[in-house]
Amino acid sequence: MSRRADNAGIRGFTLIEVMVALTILATTLVVLLQIITNNVRATNHAKMTTAATLLARSKMTDIEDSILENGFSTDNESDKGTFRDQNFPSFRWESTIERIELPTDLKQAAQDQSSDDSKSKDPMQALTGMMGGLMSGFMDPIRIGLEESVRRVTVKVSWDEVGRRDLNFEVVQFLTDPAKLDASLTGGGAPTAASATPGAAAGSGVAGAAAAAAAAVKR
């Protein structure tokens, strides 16, 4: 009788209680697994983005060296490849070197502005109109000189990640060749290739395009 009484005081878990406990444990493990997976993905994405940034800068430097050696081409250029030689086979790159195009109606706009100012009764505005009329004759040579001496260089590095494809990092920079601008304005001979400099000011006093870089990681 005493053993039966002792056993009657011990109560076990019911099947429902065991199932509820297992459900709570499974839900907790799933949440923890998702957190760990997201942390791993974020860490890997940061590592890949950092590598893409360095590779894009490296490729931009290679393009700058090539332009310094060979000079600007008269046409737009494009190229693509991978970084397999640098032990980054999962990264791809595309580059474009484009001529810039400035508005062709600058001269007409300056002439229209000078004509309006010359009709004004204000002596200062009339003087400004005269100066604008004189400067309008230099618009076309300056425009042509800038188009010949400035190139827009774009380097895009792309890669794939688990669950996300075609991520990319893009760098844009404007390169100038001051000697080529001088040759265009003065009608001189062709400049040497080594005169091309990134973001430099033109030797003739016309400011060159400032070097700029823009990066965006696109999902």
Per-domain residue ranges for the chain? 13-100+148-198
- Per-residue pLDDT at 100: 85
- Per-residue pLDDT at 37: 83
Q: Which of 84, 91, 67 is nearest to 200 (CA)?
A: 67
- Per-residue pLDDT at 3: 53
Q: Give the whole-angstrom CA distance, residue 96 versus residue 171.
A: 11
Q: Which two tokens stand for residue 92?
A: 């791809």
Print burial letters for 113-122: b (CB count within 10 Å at least 16), e (below 16).
ebeebeeeee
- Per-residue pLDDT at 218: 44
Furthest-apart CA atoms within the chain: distance in Å = 125
pLDDT along the chain (219 residues), means of 10: 52 80 90 88 91 94 89 87 91 93 63 51 50 58 79 94 87 84 62 44 33 39
- Per-residue pLDDT at 185: 65
- Per-residue pLDDT at 171: 93
pTM: 0.59
Helix (H, G, I), strand (E, B) or coil at 157: strand
What are the DSSP E strand ranges found in 45-112? 77-83, 88-99
Q: What are phi and psi of 95, to 5 degrees?
A: -130, 145
Q: Which two tokens stand for residue 85?
A: 């030689």
- Per-residue pLDDT at 96: 94
- Per-residue pLDDT at 216: 40
Q: Are 198 and 173 in contact (CB under 8 A)?
A: yes
Beta bridge pairs of residue 153: 97, 173
- Per-residue pLDDT at 110: 52
